[in-house]
Structure 1
Amino acid sequence: MSQAEAALRTIGQKETKMSLDNTVNTGRPVPEELVPSRYALRIGEIEVLVVSDGVLPLPTKMLGHNADPAVRAAWLDDMFLPQDAFDWSLNVVVVRSGSQTILIDAGLGLDPDLNLPRAGQLVKRLEAAGIDLASVTDVVLTHMHMDHVGGLLVDGVKDRLRPDLRIHVAAAEVKFWESPDFTHVSMPPGFPDALRAAAKKFAKEYRNQLRLFDEQHEVAPGVVAVRTGGHTPGHSVVRLASGGDRLTFAGDAVFAVGFDHPDWHNGFEHDPEEAARVRVRLLTELAETGEQLVATHLPFPSVGRVAVDGDAFRWVPIFWDY
């Protein structure tokens, strides 16, 4: 077992799960999941489904390794979050535009050695939503970290995908993972090796399906992938626009702490200073336009808007539409 797998196993063993063993048995079937895992909305004529791939427990230091530990601790207290590790959401988006069904990112996947039963839920939850893997015409990858490509590496998934599937990813991202630079990250031991292995395996498995772009590419009507860099050299966001409505899927450009402290460096950022500049530019634009935002690691369903709050920003979650 790698050091990354050992670290994740240790954190995963701290997870708790609500038990209904002591509740009154009414004779009605007990749902498999007690919380929602998908949320649907429309952007003009484009259908959008946010799907939770689950949660990934990680050390809180990863939120801002350049921050004063006391300031970071105070922020965690203000947010009623634990000081050592907490659950990072893993959100994936399915988009239907015209005749195309587009999967934006693919989640963590399932590795029995990681002991993370609440992550890697994408395939099961797509099935629960009535989405057949064979119906997916395109995949857009914001980047090639393992929690964004792992769902495509689950045993049997590739055989269920259509042979003419197109996987859109920035050329700079593929190039980077041929010889990745981890000199500026701040990850627990073993993570660089695990990320490198997952990206290498993905590039090998899906090389014939890759459709590379440089700066931006229209995947479908109103669906445009735009390279931002920063988090990784080829990190991209996906902009949706239809009928006057707009939404941006920001991938890992924005984290929960990034509104209050956009200058904090996330441990997974390969160029943290550039990532901070990307974050500020993106949040400033979203605050000006009022368009909706979804991001991988914001709490599910991760749909909201951005407001300016002095020298920082404020996250404004949507009111759920039932």
Structure 2
Amino acid sequence: MTQNTTLTADKSRLDELVPSRYALQVGDIEVLVISDGVLPIPAQVLAHNVEPEVLGAWLDGQFLPREIAEWPLNVLVVRSGEQTILVDAGLGFDPNLELGKAGRLIQRLAAAGIELGSVTDVVLTHMHMDHIGGLVVDGIKEKMRPDLRVHVSATEVKFWEDPDFSRTAMPEGFPDALRRTATRFMELYGSQVHTFDQQHEVAPGVVVELTGGHTPGHSVVRVGAGAERLTFVGDAIFQVSFEQPGWYNGFEHDPEEAARVRVKLMRDFAAKREAFVATHLPFPSIFHVAVDGDAFRCVPAVWDY
């Protein structure tokens, strides 16, 4: 993978001291990782099946606070052939939650010179609000193409008709916010949703594939051209997942299956030496993984200038 300049904004438009976009090539496919900001979440959500002191010790070892975890939020823009694909859509805005550090996607797309009307396809790894909320902000639907295609697994769409949160451990207020956002998303974009069962090729070299686990219809997006590969894993892998792949995240709808999914993904990435991007790993969120006994070792990719 090499640095790409095609999707890089004009220097006159760079107005942030902290980088919020990172461009690379996967063969002849252009990829841009964009930060939607950070999502402050009570730290206990990172692992609700271990004692608080065990999680606290891990957080201490990572030089992270014990009270609030600030999850990075990352999305992708992928350009393959004539198609420009937005993979997930960030948080947007919910007036009932104090999440002011996130929801920056629309401004950052503009800063990168990407017009909403140029997006031909949206791929959703799943329909949690921090993956679809950016498209339900007032005034955004009118800026999208009338022939926009939204790709999401049929299982995921079905789940959100009557979601079951009985096995999750979310902070107060989030279940209602998730329901509201998913309902609003389908009201706005339901006629443009294209579902798939197991996998679907969205564009040449861009395939969305059902994994389940985090939500029943959670999917990953595989980008490949020639010998080069990059996978966007959505919420399959978190910061704790390398050392502690068996810890359950509070937003996982089937924790045991989610653990099986991430272990399989990481073992495959390690065997193939394949890079991946995750929603909630530190920006620019490009990582490799190595097997380390019964756990894994996280290897950040070297920033490519």
The alignment's TM-score, normalised by the length of structure 1, stands at: 0.89
Q: Deviations over 1:250-278 (max 9, x none)?
A: 00000010011000000000001100000
SS at match of 1:238: strand
SS at match of 1:184: coil
Aligned match of 2:247 in 250, 264, 268?
A: 264
**Is contact 2:213-2:261 (8 Å) kept?**
yes
Q: Counterpart amino acid of 2:40?
A: P
- Is 2:214 aligned against 1:197? no
Structure 2: tracts of 5 or more residues without a match: 1-11
Whole-Å separation in 2 of the counterparts to 1:113 and 1:192:
12
User: 1:112 Cα shift?
Assistant: 4.7
User: 1:304 Cα shift?
Assistant: 1.3
- Is 2:179 aligned against 1:186? no
Whole-Å separation in 1 of the counterparts to 2:44 and 2:270:
27
Aligned length in residues: 293
Q: Deviations over 1:34-70 (max 9, x none)?
A: 2100000111011000000000100111111001222
Q: Counterpart amino acid of 2:133?
A: G
SS at match of 1:36: coil
Q: Which has the larger radius of gyration?
A: 1
Whole-Å separation in 2 of the counterparts to 1:291 and 1:141:
22
2:26 aligned residue: 43
1:5 aligned residue: none
1:236 aligned residue: 219
Alignment of 1:4-43 (within 5 A): 32-43=15-26
C-alpha change, 1:156 and 1:88, in structure 2 (3 Å) is: same
User: 1:74 Cα shift?
Assistant: 1.1
SS at match of 2:35: strand
Whole-Å separation in 2 of the counterparts to 1:219 and 1:107:
20
Aligned match of 1:55 in 32, 38, 44?
A: 38
The alignment's TM-score, normalised by the length of structure 2, stands at: 0.94
1:219 aligned residue: 202
Structure 1: tracts of 5 or more residues without a match: 1-28
Whole-Å separation in 2 of the counterparts to 1:117 and 1:71:
30
Whole-Å separation in 1 of the counterparts to 2:95 and 2:270:
41
User: 1:86 Cα shift?
Assistant: 2.1
2:257 aligned residue: 274
Aligned match of 1:77 in 60, 71, 77?
A: 60
Whole-Å separation in 1 of the counterparts to 2:95 and 2:43:
24
Q: Counterpart amino acid of 1:298?
A: L
> Which aligned segments of 4 or more residues in structure 1 are displaced greater than 4 angstroms?
none
**Is contact 2:94-2:177 (8 Å) kept?**
no
2:285 aligned residue: 302
Q: Deviations over 1:176-216 (max 9, x none)?
A: 00011111000122211111111111111111110000000
Q: Deviations over 1:203-240 (max 9, x none)?
A: 11111110000000000000000000000000000001
Q: Counterpart amino acid of 1:133?
A: L
Among the aligned pairs, what percent are the same residue? Answer: 66
Whole-Å separation in 1 of the counterparts to 2:99 and 2:197:
35
- Is 2:152 aligned against 1:169? yes
**Is contact 2:97-2:173 (8 Å) kept?**
no
- Is 2:231 aligned against 1:285? no
SS at match of 2:142: helix
